[in-house]
Amino acid sequence: MAYPLAQERSGEYLMALWRDYLEGYAEREGDVEGQTVVAAYKAVEALNVLCRILDRNGRYKDLIDQRLYYFQEAARRAEDFVDCLITATFSIYNCLNTLSHQFSEGNLSASELISKIDEQVHLSVLEGKQIERPAAAMRSCFPLTALLTITLDQNQLMTDAIRQVEQRFAAGTRRASSGWEHLLNALYRTVEMLQLAALLTDAGLKDQIYQIAARFQEEDQPKELRLKLRNGFCRLFELTHLIAVRVNAIA
């Protein structure tokens, strides 16, 4: 798929991206890991488009292009499920890093926080083992998502809700005893924070966000960790796609 430049083509691309997600998911019926990878990779693509839509003056074009290339190359080389998770989570992190810079231009404290998080991610690449690496990347996605949400909440309407999600993230981090549990906790809390970000983007999306939240809760019932991961990445894609479509319409 060719990546869009103009608003109209962005809309067409996002429609095609949704179809690809549904088709890829259906083709992997019975393959939980395969469906998880489809959702995670499509979330990367949706976030990449959102970065492009917001980059009206082209300031971040080279960075966005470079990070897309890294994602595509890593996806091509991935050999197993954990490789795919590493590719997806670090690519999601890269997109959220770009978005954070776009949203926080001129905010010194936000820029310092983004830089600190980025240093931690680079250390995790050097020091982490297989599953610890995507877990570390996803843990770094959460504070960036929180930063974006706080930036959107100019009237501080969501302060309590944001704080509650942050508290659940901290509690889950304390309880987690493995890389898999850290990954799941960070993924779930990122999805919850994105629900708030979507509401702040446009309150008119409330019904669609509630539908996604209902699926999130419904598909969280099984105890199998891989089923929960699939649930988290599916909802992550749906929310990022929803936000991208809406932002493209009003940009």
At 128 the pLDDT is: 62
At 2 the pLDDT is: 47
- The whole-angstrom separation of Cα 101 and Cα 60 is 9
At 222 the pLDDT is: 87
pTM, two decimals, is 0.95
| DSSP state string for 86-133 | HHHHHHHHHHHHHHHHHHTTT-HHHHHHHHHHHHHHHHHHHH--TTHH
Closest CA to 187 of 67, 100, 96: 96
- Reading the block at residue 102, the tokens are 């776009």
Predicted confidence (pLDDT) per residue in 89-105, tens digit: 999 999 999 999 999 88
Which DSSP letter does residue 204 get?
A: G
Question: C-alpha angle 205/218/241, rounded to 5°?
Answer: 35
Closest CA to 51 of 40, 38, 60: 60
Residue ranges of domains in the chain: 7-250
At 10 the pLDDT is: 87
What are 84-87's contacts with CB under 8 Å, separation 24+? 84/33, 84/37, 84/40, 84/41, 85/37, 85/40, 85/131, 85/134, 85/183, 86/130, 86/133, 86/134, 86/137, 87/41
Element (H, E) at 73: helix 61-77
Element (H, E) at 18: helix 7-27
- The whole-angstrom separation of Cα 7 and Cα 191 is 26
Low-confidence stretches of the chain (pLDDT < 50) are: 1-3, 6
At 127 the pLDDT is: 66
Predicted confidence (pLDDT) per residue in 182-205, tens digit: 999 999 999 999 999 999 999 999
